[in-house]
Structure 1
Amino acid sequence: MKVTYPEIGCEDIDAVVQAACVELLQHQGEDGAWGDCFDTGMMPNAQTVISLHLIGHRDRAWIEPLVYAIRQHQREDGSWGLFPGGAGDVSTTVECFYALELMEAWAAEDAPRTRAKAWIARHDGVRRCRNLTKMFLAIGGEIPWSWLPSPWLYTLMFMKGSPFSIQDIATFTRVHIPAMLVLSLYRYRSPYATGALRELVRYEEHERDDPLTNSFRSNLAAWCAKRCLTFLRMNMGQDGTLAGYHSSTWLSLFALHALGVDLEAPIVQSAIASMRQNLIVNNGTGYAHQQTANAYVWNSALASRVLLEAAIPPTYPPLQRAKAYLLSKQQMEPRTRGPIGGWGFSSNNVKHPDCDDTVACLDAFMAFPDVPKSSVDVGVSFLFSMQNRDGGWSAFEHNCDKRWLERLPANDMHRSMCDPSTADITGRVVAFLLRRSIVSPTHPSVQRAISWLQANQCHDGSWYGRWGTTYLYGTWCAVQALVTANFSLSNTTLKRALRWLLSVQRLDGSFGERCESDVLGRYSPASAGQPTQTAWGLDALLYLYDCSTDSTMRSAIQRAATKAAAWLLDNKSADGWHDTLPNGSAFPGALYVTYHIYPRVWPVMALLHFRRSIVGHKERPEGG
């Protein structure tokens, strides 16, 4: 019998793609970049309010929108969570409570304040916070430094012959450690500390901070602080920020003050001014967020590629501005450690390139006919130099895989110390190298990466994705790589991937995964489909369709893909698609990301692929 499909024609997709491209272009800045928000929840809002107070910087236009956002996101039970629908989080709740207390944003008897205090007490109080939260509390004089792990063990990372070095730790954590070490060694307390949490904090007399009187400890602290200061000066950007991250920058400014730098010094004020630029406020909706970093480079690479895929001429002035912007962000200055030629994530990240952004920028660049070959060549060389000994690729590091570092006492967050090979980064690098014909599938680097992907497929047929949500993202990236490497659907690895994708597709055709997957170690379905994740699922199905020759298999994939495409078309509002859950992961169980640009780009890419593969297919297969 004839199979019934939703009626999707080229004109349906073309109209949606055109409207999405127009809307995407409206978000481009004058400098050629896309500044769509990199939203990591309430924690950076609270940390910014806290830090501005403790550093003595009073800026109502900056602080008030963040305070308003914090109050708006408090839940009925008094808590704040990491993402919508998730459980309340102790660290986030304590930080939000502390920020509101410092700003005197509520009265002592206000019901929301009472509920927050009660919730914190029911969940074992301030002692249960993660160490990063405790660091801000200790800086503010709210808790003793004895509540944090002893810093003395970590002085080893600056000593010759030590079993570990600071360079063994992943960039995103490494840039925090020297400042945290200085602050802990000197038991720094802000001159603007207030004791705002006295109702929540109780500690014994023996826990109070004692003066650093022991001469050996004092000399060791001074020796270590000198090396930390050298690290900070080498790694801070010209604007005073550290890798463009807000938390590492705030801690570094406090550390500089602990070492004698005045809070009014140009480097401190420059960093504060730079971080203020990461504030996003929409006066129309009341939305406000302090970004942990801006995503200008990543956003602009993705936006450029989707516009070029939609057949907008590369000579179009907005695309030329985007190309110029991305070219200006390639990191060509010699580095003390690591190759040149890569790109970083943020506009002010000038010293810490990564593989994912480099792939995204190169992939966009190579669609332009007039990109300097030298820029492409050095970028590709950067990628090859970053392949790990196991055959995979990581986001930031090369062979950063001392897993035992995750068990150090100060580390209380998942996957924060190492940067091992991951399916998402490996898949994206391989797919890029092959799609752009830089190497052939028989190239030794590709073969090693393919072996790594096959060896690291989960038992259910999926792959774990480190930087997106989670198994859908990893599976999408891995499938792209394998299909681009000329695997067919007769291959067992891809068959298992297809079975998994079909098993997790929702009845309405969409895909949706909860953030908890990355902590649970298994796929956790969301209660509703998400546009970005549906785009990933659809695109993965289409890659599998493209490599299949079996008519029955193609029919099954076509049914699933058509349902997913129909869901995307039906769920686009006048101003585009919107995810209701985070679509990225930073630190599993501690920090999640909502990339506002993702629903602007990935559904368009998937629908364009659907148009090429299925809508243009003249004969409808029969079966089931």
Structure 2
Amino acid sequence: MQDHNASTTLRVQRAEPSAKTVSDAVAEATDALIRRQQADGHWVFELEADATIPSEYLLLHHILDEIDPELEAGLAAFIRGRQGKDGGWPLFFGGAMDISCSVKAYFALKAAGDSPDAPHMRRAREAILARGGAARCNVFTRILLAQFGQIPWRAVPAMPVEVMNLPPWSPFHISRISYWSRTVVVPLLVVMAHRLRARNPRGIGIAELFTEPPERVRNWHSNNSRGGWATLFRALDAALHAVEPRLPANGRQTAIDRAVRFVTERLNGEDGLGAIFPAMVNAVLMFHCLGMPPDHPDAATARRALRGLVVRQPGRVYCQPCLSPVWDTAIICNALLETGNPQARAAARRGADWLVDRQILDVEGDWAWQRPGLASGGWAFQYNNAHYPDTDDTAMVVMALQRLDTERYGEPIRRARDWIVGMQSRNGGWGAFDAENQHDFLNHIPFADHGALLDPPTSDVTARCVMMLARLGEGRDTVPTRRGLTFLEREQESDGSWFGRWGTNYVYGTWSALEALNAAGVPHSAVAVQRAAQWLLAHQRPDGGWGEDGASYWAGNPRGEGAVSTASQTAWALLGLMAAGKGNHPAVDRGVDYLLSARDAEGLWSEEPFTAVGFPRVFYLKYHGYAASFPLWALARYRALRV
């Protein structure tokens, strides 16, 4: 962190941004976003992850023996371009290598024809071996390696498909895990039950990535903690490995039938199972294991859904983890409405009408397992994902509708508000997709070495829901808002910040919480507000911006810090400070200057770092729309307050 006194000196020497410069930037960014609006009113930007998903997609075609040389060449070029300076592949831009991502990337490139003797492959191999080799990979990577015959199936934690036969009250019923875990795991149970073997037409192997032959490895557990839960589940895993081959055949077939029924009921057309890549891949593999030909209606639908995630541009081919049109459209509508521009308002109305048509009103999704009888009324993240609306998207959409026209959109707002209130957990917070999804012991099972099996209430999502309720006139004296504020009060960190589950990281969480507190009428003089504002001020970078990278999700690493400033995180910090009553602070002027200087030729912003999260410490995201929209939101609010 930079010296605070030195940065204070820099601030007082800097003149305020001119009114004309700010207004010009707002106008140019507004016009640029309107130009990017789709004909039907929505927006959608690319959503990028690390090299894992392109690697898995490339290897999928080797599992099925359906190699497309042109697609493979494009994916391989993308993967090569993401290799880090340390020889491995990171989970986020500029991060340290991740061994699981690196093993998949190396395997994919070798499958695509890269020679192991090529310099980039040699550097990758040396980096992987220096960190213990491929035996140290996570569970999902080991499942892939087992499918290719590179490791024995005993290296994979036991997860019998018979869990599908467990009653709802069982500690291991699928309703107790998160939406993303559910949709990924259920088809994978069938794949594992069949011990899928990749066709692997080129006979590619990666024995050179192991420090000892896989058949000699004794301990494959990623979590060797001596804690009670971990010790218990390791013993249970050993017992299941011994028992699984002896389980009754009729029970296994019943479980497979239930898993297949779960998947086909949620296949979601060409938007795919769960509308997320890992679940969609596993659905394709499940149908393959069941002997369905590629032209079978279900198998063909699943394959088309995957193809819909591929980005093909000149010199750029990769596979997205999912699509984000509802989230992108809701954020941009709010940003445009902040400008007060009539053309922007008209564009936001077109976006709102598109959103209203996608409100989920007639599907009782998996969330109803915990909230039976609650009427649906939420929005999903993607074009279509009716079984899995989420509270974060829903709250962001409602805030845009409320700002536009409460009379025109009264019924959609009411349905969404009631659904949000019904999804509040007992502790006062909100999870993203489920209520009461807090069975922490499940994160200790060997199969959950990524530690992201659950969807507990978080500060950022809770803040969005509180903000929505407050915007609808439900202040601190109403029960849902008061309970949400109490949750946020408990979750504030000792340094004044809030953790960001879905955005990177404490900058995102702190902005979200400050917006909620301000909307709910918490005084700017409140201790929680002042402490949060001071935390943001203390983490401004010398160039006037803010930047925080994914390393902050590991305990002991600095919070609110990164290698560079980013447009999206600077915007969040500015919005947070203005919500805290610091709109006149010189630091805000410096942050605005940073945004003004960082614009591209189109009048928007872009950034290389990843500023969002799928699963902390496991999977990170880069929303291309964040840098294009949040800075406009911040500049428009600054103009309203200061110009």
> Is this a same-fold pair by TM over 0.5?
yes
- Give distance in 1, aligned partners of 2:642 and 2:555: 36
Give the drift of 1:366.
Answer: 2.4
Query: Partner of 1:597 in structure 2?
Result: 625
Partner deviation per Cα, 1:429-483 (whole Å, 9 max, x = no partner): 111221243x233111111111111111100001111000011111111111112
List aligned pairs for 1:243-254, cutoff 5 A: 243-254=274-285
Give the drift of 1:69.
Answer: 0.6
- Give distance in 2, aligned partners of 1:484 and 1:317: 25
- Give distance in 1, aligned partners of 2:244 and 2:340: 69
List aligned pairs for 1:41-120, cutoff 5 A: 41-104=50-113, 106-120=114-128
User: Which stretch of structure 1 is more off in the superposition, 468-477 or 162-171?
Assistant: 162-171
SS at match of 1:119: helix
Partner deviation per Cα, 1:55-112 (whole Å, 9 max, x = no partner): 23333443332111111222344311112221111111111111112221x2343222
Give the drift of 1:561.
Answer: 1.1
Query: Partner of 2:390 in structure 1?
Result: 354
Query: Partner of 2:457 in structure 1?
Result: 421
- Give distance in 2, aligned partners of 1:490 and 1:301: 31
Matched to 1:594, the amino acid is K
Q: Does 1:374 align with 2:374?
A: no
- Give distance in 2, aligned partners of 1:464 and 1:108: 42
| Residues 322 and 382 in structure 2, CA contact (< 8 A), matched pair in contact too | yes
SS at match of 1:516: helix
- Give distance in 1, aligned partners of 2:517 and 2:381: 26
Query: Partner of 1:390 in structure 2?
Result: 427
- Alpha carbons of 1:525 and 1:165: their partners in 2 closer, same or farther (altered >3 Å)? same
Normalised TM-score (structure 2): 0.88
Q: Does 1:272 align with 2:303?
A: yes
| Residues 263 and 269 in structure 1, CA contact (< 8 A), matched pair in contact too | yes
SS at match of 1:243: helix
SS at match of 1:333: coil
| Residues 475 and 521 in structure 2, CA contact (< 8 A), matched pair in contact too | no
Query: Partner of 1:256 in structure 2?
Result: 287
Give the drift of 1:214.
Answer: 4.8
Query: Partner of 2:143 in structure 1?
Result: 135
Q: Please, which of 267, 272, 276 is the counterpart of residue 236 of structure 1? A: 267
Partner deviation per Cα, 1:296-337 (whole Å, 9 max, x = no partner): 111111112222222243797644542332122211123154
Query: Partner of 2:46 in structure 1?
Result: 37
- Give distance in 2, aligned partners of 1:30 and 1:485: 36
Q: Does 1:520 align with 2:547?
A: no
Q: Does 1:310 align with 2:339?
A: yes
Give the drift of 1:24.
Answer: 1.5
Matched to 2:215, the amino acid is E
List aligned pairs for 1:562-581, cutoff 5 A: 562-575=589-602, 576-581=604-609
User: Which stretch of structure 1 is more off in the superposition, 267-276 or 403-412?
Assistant: 267-276
Query: Partner of 2:372 in structure 1?
Result: none
Matched to 1:491, the amino acid is A
- Alpha carbons of 1:185 and 1:495: their partners in 2 closer, same or farther (altered >3 Å)? same
The share of aligned pairs that are identical, in percent, is: 28
- Alpha carbons of 1:511 and 1:240: their partners in 2 closer, same or farther (altered >3 Å)? closer
| Residues 38 and 595 in structure 1, CA contact (< 8 A), matched pair in contact too | yes
- Give distance in 2, aligned partners of 1:473 and 1:17: 22
Query: Partner of 2:378 in structure 1?
Result: 342
| Residues 427 and 477 in structure 1, CA contact (< 8 A), matched pair in contact too | yes
List aligned pairs for 1:166-315, cutoff 5 A: 166-192=174-200, 194-200=203-209, 202-204=213-215, 214=245, 216-239=247-270, 241-283=272-314, 286-313=315-342
- Alpha carbons of 1:126 and 1:443: their partners in 2 closer, same or farther (altered >3 Å)? same
SS at match of 2:311: strand
Partner deviation per Cα, 1:519-557 (whole Å, 9 max, x = no partner): 2265151122111111111111111126xxxxxxx7xx5
SS at match of 1:270: helix
Cα RMSD after superposing both structures:
2.6
Query: Partner of 1:19 in structure 2?
Result: 28
Q: Please, which of 466, 484, 493 is the counterpart of residue 449 of structure 1? A: 484
Normalised TM-score (structure 1): 0.90
| Residues 156 and 164 in structure 1, CA contact (< 8 A), matched pair in contact too | no
| Residues 34 and 299 in structure 1, CA contact (< 8 A), matched pair in contact too | yes
| Residues 62 and 279 in structure 1, CA contact (< 8 A), matched pair in contact too | no
Query: Partner of 2:610 in structure 1?
Result: 582
Q: Does 1:465 align with 2:500?
A: yes
SS at match of 1:410: helix
| Residues 510 and 564 in structure 1, CA contact (< 8 A), matched pair in contact too | yes
| Residues 606 and 627 in structure 2, CA contact (< 8 A), matched pair in contact too | yes
| Residues 271 and 383 in structure 2, CA contact (< 8 A), matched pair in contact too | no
Partner deviation per Cα, 1:243-269 (whole Å, 9 max, x = no partner): 111111111221222233223322222
| Residues 107 and 206 in structure 2, CA contact (< 8 A), matched pair in contact too | yes
Unaligned runs of 5+ in 1: 547-553, 616-624
SS at match of 1:86: coil
SS at match of 2:172: coil
- Give distance in 1, aligned partners of 2:161 and 2:263: 20
- Alpha carbons of 1:117 and 1:206: their partners in 2 closer, same or farther (altered >3 Å)? closer
- Give distance in 2, aligned partners of 1:184 and 1:46: 20
| Residues 365 and 388 in structure 2, CA contact (< 8 A), matched pair in contact too | no
- Give distance in 1, aligned partners of 2:510 and 2:292: 48
SS at match of 1:366: helix
| Residues 84 and 94 in structure 2, CA contact (< 8 A), matched pair in contact too | no
Corresponding residue pairs, total:
599
| Residues 168 and 175 in structure 2, CA contact (< 8 A), matched pair in contact too | no
- Give distance in 1, aligned partners of 2:245 and 2:97: 42
| Residues 381 and 389 in structure 2, CA contact (< 8 A), matched pair in contact too | yes
Matched to 1:223, the amino acid is T
Unaligned runs of 5+ in 2: 1-10, 219-240, 369-374
- Give distance in 2, aligned partners of 1:598 and 1:157: 42
